[in-house]
Amino acid sequence: QKEVEQDPGPLSVPEGAIVSLNCTYSNSAFQYFMWYRQYSRKGPELLMYTYSSGNKEDGRFTAQVDKSSKYISLFIRDSQPSDSATYLCAMKESGYSTLTFGKGTMLLVSP
């Protein structure tokens, strides 16, 4: 079983829809959970990060972590065409450790 699983998509939605992106993981030592956004031909950029379980909201974006289920989600409200990108989840253990990335989900928001 791979350490981090993420559906590659593509996920196509109309403008204004609520989008749900998800990752599951197997390593119970993961403590930090990140979402990166990657536009075509660009490097990934950090969108949100959460420590341990719980929710975090930033504008139209909400990140949720359920450590008991080893499941994390990113919700995008009122999705815009400019949200069209690949979204990568990433996780790490406490202290210095390397990031483990999901393979990314491609999101397409049509006008």
Partner 1 sequence: EAQVTQNPRYLITVTGKKLTVTCSQNMNHEYMSWYRQDPGLGLRQIYYSMNVEVTDKGDVPEGYKVSRKEKRNFPLILESPSPNQTSLYFCASSSRVNGETQYFGPGTRLLVL
- Is 29 among the residues that bind partner 1 (CB under 8 A)? no
The secondary structure of 38-98 as a DSSP string is E-TTS--EEEEEEESSEEEEETTEEEEEETTTTEEEEEESS--GGG-EEEEEEEE-SSS--
Residues 89-108 that bind partner 1 (CB under 8 A): 92, 96-99, 101-104
Nearer to partner 1, 58 or 111 (CB): 58
Site for partner 1 in 30-89 (CB under 8 A): 32, 34, 41-46, 49, 88
Collapsed DSSP state (helix, strand, coil) of residue 21 = strand
Between 44 and 79, CB nearer to partner 1: 44
Residue 109 CB burial class (10 angstroms; 0-12, 13-18, ≥19): buried
- According to CB under 8 A, which one of 8, 14, 54, 81 is a site residue for partner 1? 8
Least Å distance, CB 7 to partner 1, is 12
Q: How far, in Å, are 22, 81, 91, 93 from residue 39 at the CA level?
A: 18, 12, 20, 27
| Residue 95 or 111 with smaller CB distance to partner 1 | 95
Which residues form the interface with partner 1 (CB under 8 A)?
8, 32, 34, 41-46, 49, 88, 92, 96-99, 101-104
